[in-house]
Amino acid sequence: MTAETESLEPPLAPPPEAGLGRLGHAAYWIGSAGLLIATAADAIAVAGRHTGFHLLGSIEVVQAAVVLIASSAMVAATIVGAHASVHILTERLRPATAERLARGAALLGALLFLLVAAGSIWVASDLWSGFEQTELLGIPLRWLRMLWIAAALLIAVLFLRSAFVRAAGRHSA
């Protein structure tokens, strides 16, 4: 390779966990545990079908693990700012306008997750005394619901922090 072609190669991106911090690492480990639980339950259930050993409730275990996986993935994505976004319009705008739109998007993201958390709190409060649980294994759903509510509230706080850090960064410049 010549020096000219080497400069055209994209730079290496930092590892995904580089900007996570303690909170992000906790989310990473919770999601990893959920993924391992889901994979193990499903693998044992599939292998069991071929060997005559049936793992009852494997779907319930996977569904419970998905709460861990999805919650931690959304928290980690919010921490590193990796939510899906379209830059076709914003990259053509002046930096100040693009910054205002990004702040507005962060505020709307916070509002969305506050509404989702409020709805989840409403459902949890209605079902709290009902001892809602899965059919076969009796996995209590209230704690999974509480984990999701905590994750949704944390995501809303992270979006708010992002919006206000953007605003503070703009005023200090």
61 inside domain = yes
Q: Does position 156 have pLDDT exceeding 90, yes or no? A: yes
Q: Which helix (H) or strand (E) holds 46?
A: helix 21-51
| Nearest C-alpha neighbor of 78 from the set 164, 172, 160, 167 | 160
Structure tokens at 1: 């390779």
Quick: pLDDT tens for 42-99: 999 999 989 988 888 999 999 999 999 999 999 999 998 888 777 788 888 899 998 9
Q: Which domain holds residue 96?
A: 21-172
Structure tokens at 139: 């996995």
Quick: pLDDT tens for 101-111: 999 999 999 99
Mean pLDDT, all residues of the chain: 86
Q: How far is CA 107 from CA 25, 59, 85, in A?
A: 25, 37, 14
102 inside domain = yes
User: Between residues 119 and 80, which one has the greater pLDDT?
Assistant: 119
6 inside domain = no
Determine contact, residues 113/161, Cβ cutoff 8 Å: no
8 inside domain = no
User: Residue 41's pLDDT is what?
Assistant: 94
pTM confidence score: 0.81
11 inside domain = no
Q: Does position 13 have pLDDT exceeding 50, yes or no? A: no
